[in-house]
Amino acid sequence: MAVNSNQSHAFIGKGKIFMTPITGAVRGKPFWVGVASALSFAHSVADEKELIEHHSGTNQVWDMSDGTKKTTVSLTIQERRLEAMRAALQATTETVVTGSVVAEPHVVDAIGDYVFLKYSQVSVVTVTDSTVTTPVSLVEGTDYKIDAEYGRIEMLTTGHASPLNIGYSYGAATVMKPMTDSVDFYEIRVDGMNTVGQKDKQIVTAYRVKLNPADAIDLINDDFAEMKVEGIALFDEVLGAAYEIKTI
């Protein structure tokens, strides 16, 4: 069949990126990373050895070794889905269930002092001082004001026997601890499409990607936050390569 030389083979890639954590021989649950603005595989060869000839007098390269081949993966994530955040920050997560505290002590001695409660999403708050005979109950809006969602109290009056003992109920929360996970590597799969040219579809899979943690996590910014994650696609013995591209 004759090839039409005027047919476009341009490429603009889009698609969904999935990751699967693997620890030991145990595969975790695959997850979609969400909106990602970039994904690329880069190739390099290092430590090539050159054999220089010395018989012509011009010292030319006579032969050279293949060197060490490396495939680098670079991914830019624009959403903050929990599992993608865990992978990017090499984090573990804990779930705080609802509960209550009877008397959490906090030392304050001036107007404007802050109290940061251990938990957040608080309600039914009671604040008493440490007067030995009869503890004095403080009044919200008069002696202090509270941001219940953040679990933050600001003092409006002073002269109370310290510490203040704060009782409250609190809500559920997810606590993420970066740089504490034990995932060996991730399988990265791209269900991709070309939006121009032949408009073909492809499945790209790297079965053993060793990720580095994201260099930074933006906490205050003016635009949509991004996290760039890089890693190495390790050679897969069964596949016989670091990754594969299947066009469908």
Q: Residues 226-243: what's their mean pLDDT?
A: 96
Question: Does 201 fall in a domain?
Answer: yes
Last residue of a domain, one of 148, 171, 194: 171
CATH number at residue 240: 2.30.110
- Contact (Cβ atoms closer than 8 angstroms) between residue 199 and residue 246: no
Do 205 and 89 belong to one domain?
A: yes
Query: What's the chain's average pLDDT?
Result: 95
Name residue 155's amino acid: M
Residue 137's DSSP bridge partners are 128
Last residue of a domain, one of 123, 140, 171: 171
Q: Which two tokens stand for residue 99?
A: 């509960």
Q: Residues 47-53: what's their mean pLDDT?
A: 94
Q: For 178-209, write each residue's pLDDT tens digit.
A: 999 999 999 999 999 999 998 999 999 999 99
pLDDT for residue 4 is more than 90: no
pLDDT score for 5: 77
Last residue of a domain, one of 142, 171, 200: 171
Residues of the chain with pLDDT > 90, as a percent, come to 94
Question: Does 6 fall in a domain?
Answer: no
Question: Does 4 fall in a domain?
Answer: no
Question: Does 8 fall in a domain?
Answer: no
pLDDT score for 25: 87
pLDDT for residue 231 is more than 60: yes
pTM attached to this predicted model:
0.86
CA–CA separation, 227 vs 76, rounded Å? 6
Helices (H), the chain: 82-89
Q: Residues 6-11: what's their mean pLDDT?
A: 89
Do 89 and 117 belong to one domain?
A: no
CA–CA separation, 219 vs 2, rounded Å? 56
Do 130 and 183 belong to one domain?
A: no
Do 64 and 159 belong to one domain?
A: no
Question: Does 2 fall in a domain?
Answer: no
pLDDT score for 1: 53
**Banded pLDDT at 30 (limits 50, 70, 90):** very high
Question: Does 227 fall in a domain?
Answer: yes
pLDDT score for 150: 97
* Domain containing residue 190: 13-93+177-247
CA–CA separation, 19 vs 190, rounded Å? 9
pLDDT for residue 140 is more than 60: yes
Q: Residues 120-146: what's their mean pLDDT?
A: 96
Do 113 and 127 belong to one domain?
A: yes
Do 85 and 114 belong to one domain?
A: no
pLDDT score for 229: 97
pLDDT score for 3: 63
Question: Does 107 fall in a domain?
Answer: yes
CA–CA separation, 236 vs 174, rounded Å? 35
Do 30 and 134 belong to one domain?
A: no
Do 62 and 130 belong to one domain?
A: no
Do 116 and 162 belong to one domain?
A: yes
Q: Which two tokens stand for residue 241?
A: 């390569």
Q: How many domains does the chain have?
A: 2
pLDDT for residue 13 is more than 60: yes
**Banded pLDDT at 20 (limits 50, 70, 90):** very high
Do 88 and 108 belong to one domain?
A: no
Question: Does 235 fall in a domain?
Answer: yes
* Local structure of residue 236 (DSSP, 8 states): B
Helix (H, G, I), strand (E, B) or coil at 192: strand
Q: Residues 53-64: what's their mean pLDDT?
A: 95
pLDDT score for 2: 62
* Local structure of residue 22 (DSSP, 8 states): E
Do 167 and 198 belong to one domain?
A: no
